[in-house]
Amino acid sequence: MRTYQIDRIDQEELKLVGYSIRESLNNVLQSRIVGVLREQLAERRNELQNRNKEGIYLIQIYNQDGQWTHDTPYQHVVAFQVNAFENIPADMTTYTLPSGQYTKIIHEGPESEIGDTYDYINNTLGARPIDIEYWKDIYSLDRQDSRIDILIPG
């Protein structure tokens, strides 16, 4: 059985620039579109002049009606953190993650096993409007020593 490191943190506002899609979890898993967008964004990192971290964020914004299923489309934002929204490539979007208190849960192990961590989060914290993942190194996500930070607001 996995154990999880859980912390309460005060998160500053994050300005993010990248790609946004609206897809169901089943379609994301089948098409691997989030992974494709993550790799495309990493290849274009030098186009973001105000980028201030190497890591990439995934913001998952769920429908507010509470009727989520694996087939329900929701918004996925794959993005780098920036200092300012200036000189944004035309095919990219911006997103601002508000400051506030977040629960931080660390997934350790391959990304392919992150479903176990989300099962724990769902059983412990229940439904929520948004999940944030931070991938410090996208090229190590399939390794046993991989680490993904997950932030849950509230």
Q: What per-residue confidence (pLDDT) applies to 65?
A: 78
The domain locations on the chain are 5-153
Could you give the residue ranges of the DSSP H alpha helices within 4-147? 25-31, 33-43, 114-125
Question: How does pLDDT run across 37-59, given as a tens digit for each residue?
Answer: 999 999 999 999 899 989 999 99
Q: Determine which helix (DSSP H) or strand (DSSP E) holds 56, and give its type and residue range.
A: strand 56-61
Residue 142's CB is within 10 A of a number of other CB atoms, namely: 10
| One-letter amino acid of 101 | Q
pTM of the model: 0.95
Question: How does pLDDT run across 110-149, given as a tens digit for each residue?
Answer: 999 999 999 999 999 988 999 999 999 999 999 999 999 9
Q: What per-residue confidence (pLDDT) applies to 94?
A: 98
Question: Beta strands 93-97 and 5-11: pairing type?
Answer: unpaired
Find the farthest-apart pair of alpha carbons in the chain and give their distance in angstroms, rounded: 46
The answer as to CATH 3.20.80.10 being correct for domain 5-153 is: yes
Averaged pLDDT score across all residues of the chain = 95
- DSSP string across 86-107: -S--TT-EEEEEPPEEEEEEEE
Question: How does pLDDT run across 87-102, given as a tens digit for each residue?
Answer: 999 999 999 999 999 9
Angstrom distance (rounded) from CA 19 to CA 77: 6
Angle at CA 92, nearest 5°, toward 110 and 139? 20
pLDDT confidence bin for 9, thresholds 50/70/90: very high
